[in-house]
C-alpha cells in the first residue's frame, strides 16, 4: 500500500463499536469522547459512577454509548464487556485498554497488596479484555471465512522501558503490557486484527502530582489528554491499516515510533565454553569505567521531551 493509498483511507468510525476501559475520567474519558465524536458507539467501563457520566456526555452530544461499571481486574468482566458491545450495538471492532491505578513506592517498601493491585488492574485487566475480544474476533473471522476489522490499543508507559525507581509495580505492569501487545499482535494477525501500544503522557487525576503546570498560555495544554486521544482515534480507524505490533510514545505535539532493542555487543568464548575468568576478562573489561546510566533502561527517550513542563521533584 502506497502512502497516498494510506492517506485516502477514512479516519471516521461511523458504524464501529468500541470498548474503552478506565473511561470514567482522565485519559480514558477523553479517548471515549473522541471515538464517539468520530462516529463510534462506545461501551464505557470504569469503577463507580464515572462510566455513567462519560456515557451521558456521549449521548448528550448525539452519540451512542453504554456504561458498564465494574472492576477490570475481575477476569469475567472482559467477556461481559464484549457481550455488552455485541448485544447492544451488534458488533465489536475496537478495544482501548486504558484502566490503571498507581501505588508508588520504592522496592524496599513494596507490599504484596500494592504489587497485586497494580498488576491486576493494569496487566491482568489488559489481558482479560484482550482475551475476550480475541475469542470474538477469531470466531467472527472463521464464520466470515476471512480477515475481520479489529483494533486493540493498549496503554503502556515509558516507565516500562526505563524502570522508575519509585514504581517497581507500575513499571513491571507496563513492561508486561508491551510484551502482551506483541504477543497478541502476532496471535491475531491471521484474523486481520491490529494490535498496538501507546505510551502516553497526559495531565489527569492520576498524574496531577507528577507534572508542573504548562506555563504557555493561548494554546491547548501541552499535556492535554486530547493530544493522545487523536492518536487513539487514528489507530482505531481504517486509516491505520497495516500498522500492528508497534509501540508509540505520544504527548505534546509529537508521536514517536520506537524501534526494537538491538544487541550492543556479542561476547564469544574462545574455546566453546566460557570460564568465569574469561567472562571476567571480556565482560568485565567491556564494562570498566562505563557510564552507570548506560544500562538497558531507555533513558535516551527523555531527550524526546521538548514540552518545557518539568516533572515535579525532577
Longest dimension (CA), the chain: 73
Bridge partners (DSSP) of residue 19 are 43, 95
Write a three-state SS string for 183-216. Answer: HHHHHHHHHCEEEEEEEECCCCCCCCCCECCCCC
Active site residue 170: yes
Bridge partners (DSSP) of residue 117 are none
* C-alpha Rg value of the chain to the nearest Å: 21
Active-site entry in 130, 157, 240, 244? 157
Active site residue 124: no
Alpha-helical regions (H) of the chain: 3-8, 26-37, 50-60, 76-89, 112-119, 125-144, 159-162, 168-188, 225-236, 276-279, 285-287
Report the SS3 class of residue 115. Answer: helix
Active site residue 142: no
Active-site entry in 130, 140, 174, 224? 174
C-alpha span between 60 and 76 (Å, rounded): 30
Sheet containing strand 41-44, strands side by side? 65-67, 41-44, 17-20, 94-97, 150-155, 193-200, 247-251, 254-257
- Least Cα distance to 193 among 235, 233, 155 occurs for 235
- Least Cα distance to 70 among 85, 89, 52, 88 occurs for 52
- Least Cα distance to 190 among 234, 150, 236, 153 occurs for 150
Report the SS3 class of residue 45. Answer: coil
C-alpha span between 81 and 122 (Å, rounded): 16
Which residues are catalytic, by number?
A: 157, 170, 174
Amino acid at each position: 500500500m502506497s502512502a497516498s493509498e494510506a492517506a485516502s483511507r477514512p479516519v471516521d468510525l461511523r458504524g464501529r463499536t468500541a470498548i474503552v476501559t478506565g473511561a470514567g475520567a482522565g485519559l480514558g474519558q477523553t479517548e471515549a469522547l473522541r471515538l464517539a465524536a468520530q462516529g463510534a458507539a462506545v461501551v464505557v467501563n470504569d469503577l463507580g459512577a464515572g462510566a455513567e457520566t462519560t456515557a451521558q456526555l456521549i449521548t448528550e452530544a448525539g452519540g451512542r454509548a453504554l456504561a458498564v461499571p465494574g472492576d477490570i481486574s475481575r477476569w469475567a468482566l472482559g467477556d461481559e464487556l464484549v457481550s455488552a458491545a455485541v448485544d447492544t450495538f451488534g458488533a465489536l471492532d475496537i478495544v482501548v485498554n486504558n484502566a490503571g491505578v498507581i501505588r508508588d513506592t520504592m522496592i524496599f517498601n513494596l507490599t504484596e497488596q500494592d504489587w497485586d493491585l497494580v498488576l491486576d488492574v493494569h496487566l491482568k485487566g489488559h489481558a482479560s479484555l484482550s482475551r475476550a475480544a480475541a475469542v470474538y474476533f477469531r470466531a467472527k473471522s472463521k464464520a466470515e471465512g476471512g480477515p475481520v476489522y479489529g483494533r486493540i490499543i493498549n496503554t503502556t508507559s515509558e516507565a516500562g522501558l526505563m524502570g522508575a525507581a519509585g514504581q517497581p509495580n507500575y513499571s513491571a505492569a507496563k513492561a508486561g503490557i508491551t510484551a502482551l501487545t506483541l504477543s497478541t499482535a502476532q496471535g491475531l494477525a491471521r484474523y486481520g486484527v491490529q494490535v498496538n501500544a501507546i505510551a502516553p503522557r497526559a495531565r489527569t487525576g492520576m498524574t496531577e502530582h507528577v507534572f508542573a503546570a504548562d506555563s504557555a498560555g493561548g494554546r491547548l495544554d501541552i499535556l492535554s489528554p486530547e493530544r493522545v486521544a487523536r492518536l487513539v482515534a487514528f489507530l482505531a480507524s481504517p486509516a491505520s491499516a497495516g500498522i500492528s505490533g508497534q509501540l508509540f510514545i505520544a504527548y505534546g505535539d509529537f508521536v514517536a515510533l520506537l524501534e526494537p532493542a538491538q544487541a550492543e555487543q556479542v561476547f564469544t568464548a574462545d574455546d566453546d565454553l566460557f570460564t568465569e575468568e574469561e567472562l571476567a576478562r571480556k565482560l568485565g573489561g567491556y564494562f570498566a569505567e562505563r557510564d552507570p546510566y548506560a544500562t538497558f533502561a531507555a533513558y535516551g527517550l527523555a531527550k524526546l521531551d521538548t514540552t518545557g513542563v518539568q516533572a515535579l521533584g525532577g
